[in-house]
């Protein structure tokens, strides 16, 4: 029975660690995302856009990537949040489609 408890404790620890990594990737990723979006959309709509204008979109994209990246990929981003590996570009492309289609993303 003690082996079962030890195994259960280990699984719980791994789940919690993965959530911590997902949260870390989410915060750093959202900051970088917002900066990139402001730069890409400069001058659009005749007004100055700020990072806050992209908060919901970048949160959606970070959540999508956190849920769809492997543990190795999440670790890679935690170690280097500004990295843009090929797998991330692929996930970002899918996230863009999912987040823009989200009814909460209105302009």
Token readout for 62 is 């970070």
The dihedral sign for the CA sequence 15, 21, 23, 29: negative
Q: Is the model's pLDDT at 21 over the cut of 60?
A: no
Q: Is the model's pLDDT at 91 over the cut of 50?
A: yes
pTM over 0.75: no
C-alpha dist (Å) from residue 86 to 52, 83, 93: 27, 10, 11
Q: Is the model's pLDDT at 14 over the cut of 80?
A: no
pLDDT band per the 50, 70, 90 thresholds, residue 3:
low
């Amino acid at each position: 029975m003690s082996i079962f408890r030890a195994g259960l404790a280990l699984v719980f620890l791994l789940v919690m660690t993965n959530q911590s990594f997902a949260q870390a990737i989410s915060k750093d990723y959202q900051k970088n995302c917002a900066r990139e979006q402001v730069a890409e959309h400069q001058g659009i709509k005749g007004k100055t856009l700020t990072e806050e204008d992209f908060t919901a979109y970048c949160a959606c994209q970070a959540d999508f990537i956190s849920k769809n990246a492997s543990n190795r990929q999440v670790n890679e981003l935690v170690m280097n949040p500004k990295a843009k590996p090929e797998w991330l570009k692929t996930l970002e492309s899918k996230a863009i489609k999912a987040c823009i289609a989200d009814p909460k993303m209105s302009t």
